[in-house]
Amino acid sequence: MQTRKHFKTKLLDNGILLLGFDQKDKPVNLLSSDVLEELGLVVKEILVNEKVKGVVPVSLKNSCFIAGADINELKSVTSREECEQLVRKALALLASIENSNKPFVAAIEGVCMGGGLEFALACHWRVASDHLSTVLALPEVQLGIIPGFWGTQRLPKLIGVGPALEIIASGKSVFPKKALRIKLIDDLVANMATEKRTIDNIENEALVSVAIQRAHEIASGQKKKRKIGIFNRFLGWPLVKNAVGLKAKKDILAKTGGHYPAPLRAVSAVISGNETRHLLDLITSQVAKNLMGIFLATQELKPAKQNMISPHKDRIGVLGSGLMGSQITANLVETGYTAVMKDIGAPQLCKGMDRIDGIERKDLERQIISPAEFDRRLLRIRPTLDMIQLRDLSIVIEAVSEQLAIKKILLKEFEGVASKDAIFATNTSSYTVAEIAADAKHKERCVAMHFFNPIKSMRLVEIGVAPFTNLGTLTKVLELARQMGKIPIIVRDSPGFIVNRILARYLIEAIILKSEGVCNKDIDSAAKKFGMAVDSGRVMGPLELIDFVGVETCLHVIKSLKRLGSRFEDRPEFADMLRAQNRPERTNLSQQVITNRLILPMADEGIRCLAEDVVDSPEKIDMAMLYGAGFPAFTGGLLKWARDWGLDKMRDRLEELAGQYGSRFTPYENFKNLN
Q: In what order do the strands lie in the sheet with 64-66?
A: 64-66, 111-113, 135-137
Between CA 289 and CA 578 the distance in angstroms is 39
Q: Determine which one of 37, 38, 140, 360 is catalytic.
A: 140
Q: Determine which one of 118, 205, 275, 544 is catalytic.
A: 118
Phi, psi of 238 (to 5 degrees): -50, -45
| Annotation marks residue 140 as catalytic | yes
474: amino acid identity, one letter: L
Q: What's the number of CA atoms in the CB half-sphere (13 Å) around residue 9?
A: 20
Cβ-based neighbour number of residue 233 at 10 Å: 12
User: 111: which strand partners?
Assistant: 64, 135
With 0-12 / 13-18 / 19 or more C-beta atoms within 10 angstroms meaning exposed / middle / buried, residue 559 is middle
Question: How much is the CA Rg of the chain, to the nearest whole Å?
Answer: 27
Between CA 438 and CA 193 the distance in angstroms is 49
Between CA 549 and CA 6 the distance in angstroms is 49
Instruction: Check: CB of residue 289 under 8 Å from CB of residue 75.
Output: yes
Q: How does DSSP assign 549-597, residue by residue? A: H-HHHHHHHHHHTGGG-TTS---TTHHHHHH-SS----B---HHHHHHH
| Annotation marks residue 118 as catalytic | yes
3-state SS class at 135: strand
Instruction: List helix spans (H) across 133-201.
Output: 151-159, 161-170, 176-181
Residues taking part in catalysis: 118, 140
